């Protein structure tokens, strides 16, 4: 499921930004390296949370969970975010609505409404910030005790600091930063399945809590405990590597998952418009490509690959390369479904 605004209408979206009178707005980030210390990872992402948390006379509240990129390179691939609420506190889901929609964002909420997982797939430059909003409610008769914990993980981030943020509802303070132990994967209970996906697989190991399973680089929906992840395979082909990405790092499975048969052919990408449709021949213009079936696409200007490309189902953002000379060129988007018909972009002198 590709979601931009999950479990919320306009009224809910507006209520998230409203503070209850007398409540305290608190903000905090997971501790990373000391200020001025560069991350050890070229791609790094950290998590933070802030909110008007429920407690005392207040039976409802709201909060945001944000993730910030840093390092020396664009953060790419799927970023996994989790939120765990203590007994007595629930949420009805996450709201996420940045524009342009050059990303995919999926969420899954547990039946008890206390555990939420989100996967954000996009390309983001160092220093970018994204966040999701959530409404919180309390359960009558259940004392509020414990911490609200948010985590983040990305397979290209090798620095485990800054991946966990915890706010204690009793002391009304942020807990000291922690670093999760590195994960280990010992095996899969099923190592083969149809190319269409849908095979239930259990990935066994240790320190897997808060994890996301990737099969052939694609997120497999499911959930992880400390010792096992139970997921459903996405569509794929051939022999696909399996890994588990957690706040403590990434661990590869000792064996691949082998797809059988031929996967379904994705729909071909199409381009409907560009914004802007022209820019200097020196390149460097940020262009939004609107269309359909653009997920995981690459963008080219007259056959020359664009940089900083991020694609969702209906839009890609890309930075134009330098043109050989002023004049029109064709912009194309290429996905697993093929290459789109070109749209005209004009380099200016």
pLDDT given for residue 143 in this prediction: 85
- Whether 13 shows a pLDDT value over 90: the answer reads no
Percentage above 90 pLDDT, the chain: 84
Question: Does the pLDDT value for residue 36 go beyond 60?
Answer: no
Q: Using the structure block, give the residue that is written with the tokens 């939420």.
A: 116
Q: Would the pTM of this model clear 0.75, i.e. be above it?
A: yes
Query: Is the pLDDT assigned to residue 190 strictly greater than 70?
Result: yes
pLDDT digits over 280-316, tens only?
Answer: 999 999 999 999 999 999 999 999 999 999 999 999 9
Q: Write the CATH number of the domain with boundaries 10-174.
A: 2.60.40.1510
What is the predicted pLDDT for the residue at 257? Answer: 98
Domain 184-260, CATH number (from 2.40.128.50, 2.60.40.10, 2.70.98.60, 3.40.600.10):
2.60.40.10
State mean pLDDT over 256-269: 95
- Extents of the domains making up the chain: 10-174, 184-260, 270-348
* pLDDT mean across residues, the chain: 90
Cβ neighbours of 335 (radius 10 Å): 19
Question: CA nearest 217: which of 202, 194, 239?
Answer: 239
**Alpha-helical segments (H) within the chain:** 10-16
- Which percentage of the chain shows pLDDT scores above 70? 89
Q: Who's near 35: CB < 8 A, 6+ residues apart? A: none
Q: Taking CA 344 as the corner, what is the angle to CA 338 and CA 347, rounded to the nearest 5 degrees?
A: 125
For the 270-348 domain, the top CATH level (class) is: mainly beta
Q: Same topology for domains 10-174 and 270-348, yes or no?
A: yes
- Cα-trace Rg, the chain: 22
Question: How confident is residue 28, by pLDDT bands cut at 50, 70 and 90?
Answer: low
- The reported pLDDT for the residue numbered 55 is 80
């Amino acid at each position: 499921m590709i979601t931009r605004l999950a479990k919320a209408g306009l009224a809910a979206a507006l209520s998230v930004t409203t503070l209850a009178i007398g409540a305290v707005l608190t903000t905090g980030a997971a501790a990373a390296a000391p200020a001025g210390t560069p991350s050890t990872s070229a791609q790094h992402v950290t998590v933070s949370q802030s909110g008007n948390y429920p407690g005392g006379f207040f039976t409802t509240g709201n909060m945001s969970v944000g993730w910030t990129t840093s390092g020396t390179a664009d953060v790419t691939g799927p970023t996994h975010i989790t939120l765990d609420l203590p007994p007595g506190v629930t949420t009805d889901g996450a709201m996420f609505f940045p524009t342009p929609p050059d990303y995919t964002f999926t969420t899954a909420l547990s039946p008890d409404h206390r555990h939420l997982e989100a996967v954000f797939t996009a390309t983001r430059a160092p220093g970018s910030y994204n966040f999701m909003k959530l409404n919180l409610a309390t359960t009558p008769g259940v004392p509020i005790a414990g911490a609200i914990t948010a985590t983040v993980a990305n397979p290209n981030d090798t620095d485990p600091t800054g991946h966990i943020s915890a706010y204690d509802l009793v002391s009304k303070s942020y807990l000291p930063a922690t670093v999760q132990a590195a994960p280990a994967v010992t095996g899969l209970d099923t190592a083969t399945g149809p190319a269409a996906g849908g095979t239930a697989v259990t990935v066994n190991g240790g320190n897997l809590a808060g994890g996301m399973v990737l099969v052939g680089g694609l997120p497999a929906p499911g959930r992880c405990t400390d010792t096992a992840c139970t997921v459903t395979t996405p569509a794929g082909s051939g022999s696909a590597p399996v890994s588990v990405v957690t706040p403590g790092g990434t661990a590869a499975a000792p064996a691949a998952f082998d797809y059988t048969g031929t996967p379904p052919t994705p729909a071909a990408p199409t381009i409907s418009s560009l914004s802007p449709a022209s820019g200097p021949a020196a390149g460097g213009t940020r262009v939004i490509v609107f269309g359909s079936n653009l997920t995981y696409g690459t963008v080219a200007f007259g056959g020359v690959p664009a940089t900083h490309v991020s694609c969702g189902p209906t839009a890609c953002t890309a930075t134009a390369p330098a043109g050989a000379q002023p004049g029109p060129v064709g912009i194309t988007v290429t996905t697993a479904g093929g290459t789109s018909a070109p749209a005209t972009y004009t380099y200016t002198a």
